[in-house]
Structure 1
């Protein structure tokens, strides 16, 4: 890190999000390689255009298996494992429901109950058949679609971290629009803000200090619409087909790998605070910050981070309380 503490920021728009790379040396060629890598993975994993390896699988639903590259297969394997956990709120096969709700896109509205019920029949994770020998994926029912949107950013953030480390970068940060992966400990720790739900873009509930960690936040305020006085957000409950409705406004995961952050934000959103705190007791490597509609900030522990409350309208609570 330079003695003057200069930070060089590089930005791009990829995966529908602003991407920010921070380095402590002026290195445009490295930044360019990082953005090219992100674009390469986006091309493999996206469901927002007609062609990608994931869309090849979706186009073949109910017809035949599709062989994919090892990275894509391994990511689908990971997503299915999280999807088939008991009562999991994570579901890689939720694509048809996400598409029908269109939350965050033009034309979003509450679908008829009959539509949701019909789509629930083709969003079962156990109907995603994996063949380890051939690296193939088969969706057994026509109309099925896998969607890796809930896990792709975390996977890509980890690959960027690996590239930076390989290039000898000891201090840096990559922000993939909600997935922040940090390297090193500039001035001791990185400070990452925790957004205040449904407030101005720069309004913060608090800030966490981390080193060598990923920070992933998922919130009901990120994408939503209102209809007949009720708010509908983008985090769909795969068991009901409707947006998850509990005490939570956001969940933040602090972990080594951003991929874990993606999975656990969804798992804990579905579990709620009490059950979520119980789930984390067996995972010393995963920590969480819950922000509730009742304006509480609940910390699972502070082994891997430090948290400072910045908004006195919120109450700070420990998970063990």
Structure 2
């Protein structure tokens, strides 16, 4: 390693987001292979292109089962299991509702209640039939659509982490736009030779892109944030954001502005940001008391920052308008 711990940054735009890779050695070839790997995964999992595995499943809804690769089948299995949890805010069959609202994709009006009610009947994860032997997926009703958008980035971030480890990389950071996965530490403290954590910014909701509530310090962890300020529109004084409640068809409405999850695997971060959003602060904290491998930071509308614990990270508050609890 260089004595000044120089970091080399590589960037690309993939999955509709700016992607950032940080390495401690100048290696454009490795960066290119990482971006190519992300592109390959995106092409398999996206619902925004006509020839992905997911689109093949959706286009065959109500007609026939579609065989998919083992990784895609395993990911769909995981998404279905989480969708079937009691009162789960995670639902991978929410595609028809997402498409109707179009929040973040030129949508700026509230659909009629009758439209949403009709589409709710197409969002039952129990109607996704999985055949493990054939590795096939069948959507029982025509018009059903699965959407892995709430889990794909985390999965891909973990695929990149594992690829970098296979390449012998011990220290790196990959940011897929809201999903950050880290390897090792960012550098070594020269005074005591101890590793120093990566510094991940926690964004201030509805503020400039570089405005931060604070900084999360982690080593070898994933940091995933989901917030109502990411994609939204205003209508008659109310904010309609992209985090939909699969139980009602409308955006989730509670005390939260954002949820950040710190854990080992980014796919778990993806899952838990959605689950915890649906639970809210009180229920979320009670749930996490029994899940020690998952930690979270809740940011509320009244500017509280609530950490479930700080066993796997350290949080540094920068904005004195917020209160750390």
The structural deviation recorded for 1:126 is 0.7
Residue 198 of structure 2 is matched in structure 1 by 190
2:24 is aligned to: 24
SS in 2 for 1:290: strand
TM-superposed deviation, 1:108 = 3.1
2:296, 2:230 → 1: CA distance? 18
* Residue 116 (structure 1) aligns with: 116
Q: Match of 2:192? A: none
2:71 and 2:57 map into 1 onto residues whose CA distance is: 15
CA contact (8 A) 1:8 1:26 kept: yes
| Distance in 2 between residues matched to 1:186 and 1:98, nearest whole Å | 37
**Does residue 222 of structure 1 match 2:230?**
yes
Residues 120 and 171 from structure 1, CA distance in 2 versus in 1: closer, same or farther, beyond 3 angstroms?
same
Query: How far is 1:137 from its partner?
Result: 0.4
Over the residues paired in the alignment, what is the CA RMSD in angstroms?
Answer: 0.6
Distance 1:36 1:255 in 2: 26
The separation in 2 between residues aligned to 1:259 and 1:107, in whole angstroms, is 27
1:146 aligns with 2:146: yes
Stretches of 4+ moved more than 6 A in 1? none
How big is the shift at 1:5?
A: 1.2
| d(CA) in 2 for partners of 1:57, 1:203 | 41
Equivalent residue for 1:250? 258
Measured after TM superposition, the shift of residue 49 of structure 1 is: 1.6
Aligned counterparts of 1:246 and 1:228: Cα–Cα separation in 2: 18
Instruction: Provide the rounded CA distance (Å) in 1 between the counterparts of 2:87 and 2:223.
Output: 24
What's the counterpart of residue 42 of structure 1?
A: 42
Query: Which residue number in structure 2 is paired with residue 296 of structure 1?
Result: 304
Name the CA distance, whole Å, in 2 between partners of 1:112 and 1:219. 25
Contact (CA 8 Å) 1:93, 1:123: kept in 2 or not?
Answer: yes
Conserved? CA contact 2:108–2:234, under 8 Å: no
Instruction: Report the TM-score when normalising by structure 2.
Output: 0.97
Q: Work out the CA distance in 2 between the residues paired with 1:235 and 1:4.
A: 42
Displacement of 1:51: 1.6
Tell me, what secondary structure is at the counterpart of 1:239?
Answer: coil
Q: What is the CA distance between 1:156 and its match in structure 2?
A: 0.2
3-state SS, counterpart of residue 319 of structure 2: coil
Instruction: Work out the number of aligned pairs and report it.
Output: 317
Residue 56 of structure 1 pairs with residue 56 of structure 2: yes
In the alignment, structure 1 residue 314 sits paired with structure 2 residue 322: yes
Q: Secondary structure at the match of 2:305?
A: strand
Aligned mates of 2:41, 2:288 — CA distance in 1: 30
1:154-199 residue CA offsets vs partner (Å, 9 max, x unmatched): 0000000000011010111000000000011123110101000001
What residue number does 1:137 align with?
137
| 2:168 is the alignment partner of 1:168 | yes
**Separation in 1, partners of 2:163, 2:304:** 38
Deviation at 1:4, TM superposition (A): 2.1
- In structure 1, C-alpha distance between the alignment counterparts of 2:126 and 2:3, rounded to whole Å: 54
Q: What CA distance in whole angstroms lies between the structure 1 residues aligned with 2:282 and 2:109?
A: 31
